[in-house]
Structure formats: C-alpha cells, structure tokens
C-alpha cells in the first residue's frame, strides 16, 4: 500500500511540476522528513500538534500553554508562512518543525525524530501514509477543532468507502459543533469516538479589553492619521480591493490585509498611492490607503480599526475568520460568502455584533456605521460578550488529550 501511494505521489508531483515550481517553497530537507528534534524529556509524554498554516497555528495559542504544564509539545506546520508564525508564538517553550510530504520514507524519518506519544491534527489534515505509520507505532491520532466545510463534505461523502477507514482509525474526533459532528459521522467516523468541544479559535482570540502590543507602532510606521476613522479589511481577496476603496466614505481611511502573499502586488495596484507595510517610506498617507503586506500583524491592524470588514466574503471564495476582531471589540461587516465560518458568523450576527451586507450595500453601511458612534459601541460590546460566552474549547481539548494518554 505504501509503495502504491508513493508511486501515485511521484506521478502527481511530476504532472503538477509546472504549477508548484512557480511558487517559492523553502525547507525541502525538512519536507523530506529530515528534521532536528531533541529526544523527549524522560517522564514527560510528547504531544505532536499539527497545524497546516497560519490560521491553524493561531488556533493553538491557548492550548499549547495548557499542555506544556505536563507534556513536551512539538508543533508541526506545512506552509512557510505558518511555520514562521509558529516560531514567533511557540519556539520559546515548544519545538517547531516542518511537517513532511506524505511519502512513506519521509513520514518514517519524521516520526522517528519526533517520537510522539499522541498526535493531534488541527481542524482536519489526513494523509494516508502518516496515519498508517502512526498506527504501526501505536501512536493515537485525534482530530482537534474538527471541521468539515460544505464543499469538503460533498467531496468526502463521495469518497466515504475509503475515507471512512481513515476516520475510524482516529482515537477521537473533537468537532467544533453539532453540524460538523454530523458531517464526520456521515463520512464514516465512529460516533462513539466523536466529541463536540467547540472552537479553539474563540480561545485564541485576544482577551477582550487587553491592549495589543505593537498596534501603536504599526500606526506610526504606516503613518495612519489617528484622528480620522479607519476601516480595516482583513484576509481580503484580489477582487475586493477596488470594491473596498470605492466603498470607503470620504474622510475615512482604509487598510487592506490580503490573505495570501501572492496577492500583495495586485492589491497595491488596486490601492493607488497606498503606503505598504513592507516599504513604509514610500506611498502617500494622505491617500488614506494602506496595505498590510506582511504576515503576523493582522491583530495589530484590527486593534486600530473603527470598523472591520471581513475579506473573502464578497466574491466566489468562502469567507474569513471574524473571531479575532470580535474579541478586540470591533463592529464587524461581512459579505454574503461565509461558508467556511458560518457558525461563528451566525453567533456574532445573532448577538448583534456583525452586520451582513452585499457588494452594493457595503458603501452605505460603512457610511452609516462611521456616522453613528453609539451603534458601533453597541456592536463592540455585543462582540466581546459573544466571545466570552463561546470560550473554553481549548481546556476541553486539553482534558481529552490527558484522558486518552491516561488510558
């Protein structure tokens, strides 16, 4: 089985070379399983937490300190931006490594170096050779903060005969909510091993009212006028920057933070004369346009906002995460595309913290919000209350991990 999978991966790599060679990727030695990882501390079980990219890395922010009390913690990450963020957050107390490509030889090297006692996959990242190798070593795997989006669910249902075998090998699946739990069952997961623990992203959001280090510096270096209102659009897509610029009321400022680095230059073209974070000496701050073309500073940008617009929600994509600006006490505006974050969006909407709108309705909604401080404050208060009500999933995940290891 491993040989056939390796052969299939090799063929896919050759056929996909024109695509993946266009992207700059680092860490090829580590991607092939050659990582530097110290042996576990005697008497302390080792937990491997796997996060694909920046979003999953951030969602572990509350869980990692809880586990470090009793366990060695290793955080593995797939993407370059994600591993940079993981080093920033965790390398002082935990080990951060690159997750391997799912060739059987790379997985074997990786697991021989890490030597985990338990693996938690954040949200969902199942690779067959990795699952098989853990099973052979009697290493339990759990899915933490589990979610199955609508589009993933449709694909997975078609592959249930195969995927069901993988899901039944999980020691536990901790779903974010009942909708996701039912989807896991529908694609073959064992209902007896399913837990509904909530979303750790609520816990990873900043504590309501807590100052955000670096926010003032970001404003100063971008030359943002603190006397003028600021709209921050986070995790934006290429087809949204012109829309956002045109929807920004006269006298207000706009800061856009594209979701992916490869979208930065296109965003700069759509925001003429903008001040770019990567070159703050250029651009014209009087344009009122700012571009956050860095990774890891979105929280600081959100802290400066009078209104937050959630990106990837006004086009063909599937929305972005509204939880962090909610925890910062910001009134939130979001477009109709929210499939990837429907549950938190609905929670915030019901609380009165998030206003849904359309492309056509964005401009009048932003204008009315900026003209009404009392309305913005009511939305901000509702947001922080909603976040507090939803928190606690990280502690429940930590308890589940301890329970499994104790058995």
CA angle 255–123–291, rounded 5-degree value: 10
What is residue 148's predicted lDDT score, i.e. its pLDDT? 86
What is residue 208's predicted lDDT score, i.e. its pLDDT? 62
> Which pLDDT band, with edges at 50, 70 and 90, does 55 fall under?
confident
> Which pLDDT band, with edges at 50, 70 and 90, does 180 fall under?
very high
Residue 13 lies in a domain: no
Residues 385 and 401 in one domain: no
Residue 140 lies in a domain: yes
What is residue 355's predicted lDDT score, i.e. its pLDDT? 97
What is residue 398's predicted lDDT score, i.e. its pLDDT? 98
Residues 59 and 177 in one domain: yes
Residues 225 and 187 in one domain: no
Q: What is the mean pLDDT of residues 253-281?
A: 95
How many domains does the chain fold into? 2
Copy the structure tokens of residue 26.
Answer: 């680092």
Residues 165 and 265 in one domain: no
Q: What confidence tens digit (pLDDT) does each residue in 105-160 have?
A: 999 999 999 999 999 999 888 888 999 999 999 999 999 999 988 888 888 888 88
Per cent of the chain over pLDDT 70 is 93
Residue 207 lies in a domain: no
Residue 20 has pLDDT above 60, yes or no: no
Q: What is the mean pLDDT of residues 37-43?
A: 89
> Which pLDDT band, with edges at 50, 70 and 90, does 19 fall under?
low
SS (HEC) of 197-244: CCCHHHHHCCCCCCCCCCHHHHHHHHCCCCCCCEEEEEEECHHHHHHH
Which of 338, 339, 364 is CA-nearest to residue 354? 338
State the greatest distance between any 2 C-alpha atoms of the chain, in Å, as a whole number: 64
> Is 338 in contact with 345 (CB distance < 8 Å)?
yes
Residue 277 has pLDDT above 80, yes or no: yes
What is residue 237's predicted lDDT score, i.e. its pLDDT? 97
Residue 9 has pLDDT above 70, yes or no: no
Q: What confidence tens digit (pLDDT) does each residue in 325-381 have?
A: 999 999 999 999 998 888 899 999 999 999 999 999 999 999 999 999 999 999 999
What is residue 295's predicted lDDT score, i.e. its pLDDT? 83
Q: What is the mean pLDDT of residues 159-187?
A: 90
Lowest-confidence pick of 37-41, 163-167, 348-352: 163-167
What is residue 29's predicted lDDT score, i.e. its pLDDT? 81
Residues 342 and 251 in one domain: yes
What's the domain range around 183?
Answer: 23-198+392-406
Residue 10 lies in a domain: no
Residues 171 and 228 in one domain: no
Residue 16 has pLDDT above 60, yes or no: no
Residues 386 and 397 in one domain: no
> Which pLDDT band, with edges at 50, 70 and 90, does 24 fall under?
low
What is residue 4's predicted lDDT score, i.e. its pLDDT? 67
Q: What is the mean pLDDT of residues 15-19?
A: 55
SS (HEC) of 363-376: HHHHHHHHCCHHHH
> Which pLDDT band, with edges at 50, 70 and 90, does 209 fall under?
low
Q: What confidence tens digit (pLDDT) does each residue in 210-253 have?
A: 788 999 999 999 999 999 999 999 999 999 999 999 999 999 99
Q: Give the CATH number of the domain where residue 295 resides.
A: 3.40.50.2000
Per cent of the chain over pLDDT 90 is 72
Q: Give the CATH number of the domain where residue 156 resides.
A: 3.40.50.11720
Residue 206 lies in a domain: no
Highest-scoring range by mean pLDDT, 38-52, 72-86, 367-381:
367-381
Residues 111 and 144 in one domain: yes
Residue 287 lies in a domain: yes
Q: What confidence tens digit (pLDDT) does each residue in 66-75 have?
A: 999 999 999 9
Q: What is the mean pLDDT of residues 314-334?
A: 94
What is residue 15's predicted lDDT score, i.e. its pLDDT? 58
Copy the structure tokens of residue 132.
Answer: 């098989």
Which of 72, 5, 7, 65 is CA-nearest to residue 37? 72
What is residue 125's predicted lDDT score, i.e. its pLDDT? 80
Residue 2 lies in a domain: no
What is residue 22's predicted lDDT score, i.e. its pLDDT? 56
> Is 167 in contact with 190 (CB distance < 8 Å)?
yes
Residues 280 and 187 in one domain: no
Give 72: exposed, middle or buried? Use CB within 10 Å, 0-12, 13-18, 19+.
Answer: buried
Residues 271 and 357 in one domain: yes
Give me the chain's average pLDDT, please: 91
Residues 176 and 281 in one domain: no
Residue 51 lies in a domain: yes
Residues 247 and 180 in one domain: no
């Amino acid at each position: 089985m491993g040989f056939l999978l390796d052969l299939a991966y090799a063929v896919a790599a050759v056929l996909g070379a024109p695509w993946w060679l266009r992207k700059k990727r680092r860490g090829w030695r580590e991607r092939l399983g050659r990582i530097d990882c110290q042996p576990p501390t005697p008497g302390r079980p080792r937990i491997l937490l796997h996060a694909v990219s920046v979003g999953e890395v951030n969602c572990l922010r509350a869980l990692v300190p809880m586990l470090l009390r009793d366990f060695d913690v290793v955080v593995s990450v797939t993407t370059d931006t994600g591993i940079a963020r993981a080093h920033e957050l965790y390398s002082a107390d935990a080990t951060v490594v690159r997750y391997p490509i799912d060739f059987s030889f790379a997985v074997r090297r990786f697991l021989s170096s890490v030597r985990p006692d338990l693996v938690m996959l954040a949200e969902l990242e199942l690779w067959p050779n990795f699952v098989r190798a853990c099973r052979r070593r009697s290493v339990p795997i759990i899915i933490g903060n589990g979610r199955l989006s609508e589009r993933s669910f449709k694909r997975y249902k078609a592959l249930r005969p195969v995927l069901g075998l993988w899901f039944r090998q999980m020691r536990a699946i901790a779903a974010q909510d009942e909708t996701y739990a039912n989807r896991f069952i529908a694609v073959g997961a064992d209902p007896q091993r399913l837990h509904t623990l909530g979303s750790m992203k609520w816990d990873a959001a900043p504590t309501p009212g807590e100052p955000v280090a670096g926010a003032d510096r970001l404003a100063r270096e971008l030359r943002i006028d603190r006397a003028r209102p600021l709209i921050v659009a986070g995790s934006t897509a290429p087809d949204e920057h012109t829309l956002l610029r045109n929807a920004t009321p006269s006298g207000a400022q706009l800061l856009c933070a594209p979701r992916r680095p490869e979208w930065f230059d296109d965003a700069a073209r759509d925001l003429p004369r903008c001040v770019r974070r990567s070159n703050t000496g250029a651009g014209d701050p009087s344009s009122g346009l700012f571009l956050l073309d860095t990774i890891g500073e979105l929280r600081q940008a959100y802290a400066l906002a009078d209104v937050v617009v959630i990106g990837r929600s006004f086009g063909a994509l599937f929305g972005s995460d509204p939880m962090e600006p909610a925890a910062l006490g910001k009134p939130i505006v979001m477009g109709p595309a929210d499939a990837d974050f429907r549950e938190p969006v609905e929670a915030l909407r019901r609380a009165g913290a998030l206003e849904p709108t359309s492309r056509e309705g964005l401009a009048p909604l932003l204008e009315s919000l900026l003209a009404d401080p009392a309305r913005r404050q009511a939305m901000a208060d509702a947001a922080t209350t909603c976040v507090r009500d939803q928190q606690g999933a990280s502690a429940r995940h930590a308890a589940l991990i301890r329970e499994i290891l104790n058995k």
